[in-house]
Structure 1
C-alpha cells in the first residue's frame, strides 16, 4: 500500500527531508568505523560507581523546580525464548509466576522514586521495553498500570505517547484490546525479517500472519502509531531476500519503521555465540541491503528521520523533525521533547535534568538494593556545563541533521564557533569528502553525510575513548 506524502513547509533553520544520497560505497566503507549511537551524551561508558542513590535522589528533588513533564520507562526483562541476535538485558523463562517478585520490587522502586517527585507533573510519555513486556499476563499488566497511576498519576490526554514493545508470537487481538483499555496508544512490533530461513537461524520463527493479524486489529482499534522493527546484517540475509521482506512490510503500512544494523559482538553477548559467523552477510552485501532499504522506503513515501528510523510524513516523529522539536533518548528518537525520563526496573537508565542514573544489570543486585529500602542506582553521572553544551549540540545534529552555531551561541551564552574550533578542525576531512556543508553559522549534513551522522557527532564528543572497536557497533 502506497503512503501518501504530506506537503510540509520548513523554515530555513529546520532540517528538511533529504534527497536520496548519491551512493558512494567506497566512501561509506572508509567511514564505517565503530562509534556510539548517542542515545545519551556522555554515553553510558562514562557513568561511574561514585554516583549512587543519594545523588539520584537529590537530582529528582532538584528537577521539581523545572516542572518539566515526565517520561516513564519500565523494563520487563522476561522472555519465553532467547533470540540469538539479542543484546538486551533479559531472563529466559516460561513461568509468568516468576514475574511476581519482580513486579513487587518494581512497585517498591515506584514508591521510593515518587517520594522525591512532584507527582502533579504530567506523565506525557510511557514506554514498556524488555525483554518482552507482553510476557506478563493481562492481570499483571493491569497491576503495573494501576501501580504507576497510583504513584505518578497517568495521563488520559489524547497527546500522550504511551508505547509498548510487542512480540507477535506472545500476543493476540485480546492482548491489544487489553492494552488499549490500559491507555497504551502506540505499539512496536518486533519482526526483524520475514524470511523463514533467517528466522530459523536467529531462533525467532514468526510467520507473517502473526504480525499482519495484530496490525489489522491495531489499526481497527485506532492505535495512533505502529512501529515495526527490522534488522539487517542477520545470518543468511541477502539484498534480494530483504527486499522481499520490505515489499511485504510496506504493504502492511506501518506508521514507523526501525531498521537496525545488527552488531555481531559474541564476546559481549552470549546468545550471539549461537550464530554461525560464516552465515552473516559480507560488508558489501550489508551496504547493498541498506541501499535497497533506503531506496524502497523513501520511494514508498517514508521520511528517513535519521540513522535507522523511518516514518510517514504525517507521523509525530516526522512532524517533530520538521518543527525542530525531535529528541533522542534511550529508546531512540522521540517526539516528546524536554521530558525528564525516569527509568524503572533492572538495567533501566534515567535522564533527569543534568543527571544520568542507571540501575544494576543483575537482577539479584537490583532486588537486594530495593529490599534494603533504597533506590537501586548503581552508577551514573552529573553533567558538567561542557557536557550539557555538547549534549545539546550532538542531539540537535542527530535529530535535525544540522547545527545552527548562532542558535547555540544564544542558548549557552558562548561564542560557539570559537568554543568548537577544535571540533571544526576535526570535521575538515568530512567537509572535503562532502559529508557536511559549512555555510556561515550553519553546519548541515549532506544526504550521504546523514548516513554517517554518528561519525559527525563523534567530532563533538569530549569523552570518546581512543579505541571504540570493542565497545561500539559499526556506524553503517
Structure 2
C-alpha cells in the first residue's frame, strides 16, 4: 500500500506550476519537422521488438459543452457530423495497420473524447469491428471507454460490453446542483446508479469515476456530499482532478464565473478532505490524483512494480507501443511521439490526399529515454534505484545526474524525500502528494530550478499548479 501523509506547509512551499508528465518530453517539445518517414521507421523498429499494442481512438464530439473542459472537442447536436469523421478515422486506422505486424497483440484499447458515446450504437459497433479486423485483440486485455453518465443509458452499457469493452470510465465531476449549473454538466446520482447497476450486471471488470475539485461554488461541504454519494456507488477506481482555470488557453472556461471559484486555501482543504475520506473508505492512493480499491489491477501493478503511466494516465501493462488515431491524438511508438492535426478540416484533408494526418512529433534521444524512465518510475513507484538504472542505460548515475542530485538535497532537507544516498532515492509519504515537484528536477526542458518561482507566478502559465 502507498502511504501518504498531509503536510500543508510543505505543499505550499512547493506548489509550483509544472507538467503532469503524461509524457516525457512533454508536448511543447514536439515540432512540425516530423513526418510519415519517421513514423514508418519507428513502426519497423517496434515490429522488430514485437512489443504489445495499446490503441487509442479520439471521438471529439459532444452534445453539450462543459465549461471547465480543456479537451479537443466539437460541440454539436447535429449527429450527422460524426459519420464523415468516422469514415476518415477508419481510413487512418487502415493506413497505419498495414505497417504493423499482424502477430502483435492489442493489450489495451481506450476510446476518449469528447464523448465517445456521442456516436450511434451502429457506429460504435462498426468502429470496433473495423479495429478488430486489423489488429489481434488479446483475450485478457483492458478495453475501456469514457462516457458522460448524463447522456448514456443502460442499453448503451450493454452494447459496449457486447462489442468488447470491459472497463468504463464515467465523468461524474460533481453531484451538487449549483456546481453542475455553473459548469453546465448534469448527471444525477440516480442516473449514475442505473449505469453502475447495469455494468455490474453485464460483468464489466472495472468501473472508474472522475471527479474535479476547484470548480465554481464548490467547498468542503459540497465535496463531502459528493464523495459520500460516490463511495456508495462503489467504483473500482477514482480520479480526483484539480481544476486548472486557464481561460487564455481554453475559451470555454470564460463562460464560468471566475469570482465563484474557491480560493486556494479552500482548494487545499478540499483535497485534504477527499484524501482522508477516500483512504478511510478503503481506497488506496496510487498517485497523481488517482485512487483504487486494493484488489484492483492498478494496486496490484503498483505493488509488483509493473505500473506504468501514459497519455491516458496510469496503466497496468508496461512496454506497449501506443497507436493513437483521430484528431489531436498522440502516439508513442518505439522512441517517437507523433501527434495528429488538432482540427477536423486539416485531419480530413491529409487523408483525402492519401497522407497520414501528422501535425508534429519528436524523436527521443537517449537522454530523453533515460529521463522518461526516471520520471515514470517516480510517478508510479516513488523510488529510484540508481544502480539498476545505471546498468539499464549504461551510465554512472551519480556522475550523469550530479547536478540533479545536488538539486535534490534541499528537497531531502525539506521533507519531500525520506532517503537520498549514493544508491537510491525514496519519496516521503508527504512528498508523494507533490511528486511532480520531484520529477521536475529531472526535466531537462524546464528552466533552471532557481527560476521555478517565475514559472509559478506567470500570469499566463503553460502548466497547471502541482496542487
Q: Same fold (TM over 0.5)?
A: yes
Pairs within 5 Å for 1:41-440: 41-155=24-138, 157=139, 159-436=140-417, 437-440=419-422
What secondary structure, in the 3-state scheme, does the structure 1 residue paired with 2:238 have?
strand
Report the Cα distance in structure 1 between the residues aligned to 2:437 and 2:413, rounded to whole angstroms: 14
Report the Cα distance in structure 2 between the residues aligned to 1:289 and 1:172, rounded to whole angstroms: 31
Report the Cα distance in structure 2 between the residues aligned to 1:251 and 1:459, rounded to whole angstroms: 40
Deviation at 1:62, TM superposition (A): 1.8
Runs of 4+ in structure 1 off by over 6 angstroms are none
1:446 maps to 428
1:6 maps to none
What secondary structure, in the 3-state scheme, does the structure 1 residue paired with 2:438 have?
helix
Give the length in aligned residue pairs. Answer: 457
What secondary structure, in the 3-state scheme, does the structure 2 residue paired with 1:343 have?
strand
CA contact (8 A) 1:234 1:262 kept: yes
Mean CA deviation greater in 462-471 or 109-118: 462-471
2:439 maps to 457
Give the unaligned 5+ runs of structure 2: none
What secondary structure, in the 3-state scheme, does the structure 2 residue paired with 1:378 have?
strand
Give the unaligned 5+ runs of structure 1: 1-15
TM-score normalised according to structure 1 size: 0.94
CA contact (8 A) 1:231 1:262 kept: yes
Report the Cα distance in structure 1 between the residues aligned to 2:62 and 2:179, rounded to whole angstroms: 20
Deviation at 1:440, TM superposition (A): 4.2
Deviations 1:378-416 (A, max 9, x none): 100001111110100110001001111111011111111
2:463 maps to 472
What secondary structure, in the 3-state scheme, does the structure 2 residue paired with 1:124 have?
strand
What secondary structure, in the 3-state scheme, does the structure 1 residue paired with 2:34 have?
coil
Deviations 1:403-444 (A, max 9, x none): 111110111111112211111111122111100121441211
Report the Cα distance in structure 2 between the residues aligned to 1:116 and 1:374, rounded to whole angstroms: 14
1:17 aligns with 2:2: yes
Report the Cα distance in structure 2 between the residues aligned to 1:169 and 1:139, rounded to whole angstroms: 20
What secondary structure, in the 3-state scheme, does the structure 1 residue paired with 2:430 have?
helix
CA contact (8 A) 2:301 2:316 kept: yes
What secondary structure, in the 3-state scheme, does the structure 2 residue paired with 1:289 have?
helix
Mean CA deviation greater in 172-181 or 416-425: 416-425
TM-score normalised according to structure 2 size: 0.96
What secondary structure, in the 3-state scheme, does the structure 2 residue paired with 1:451 have?
helix
1:27 maps to 10
CA contact (8 A) 2:335 2:363 kept: yes
What secondary structure, in the 3-state scheme, does the structure 2 residue paired with 1:337 have?
coil
CA contact (8 A) 1:349 1:357 kept: yes
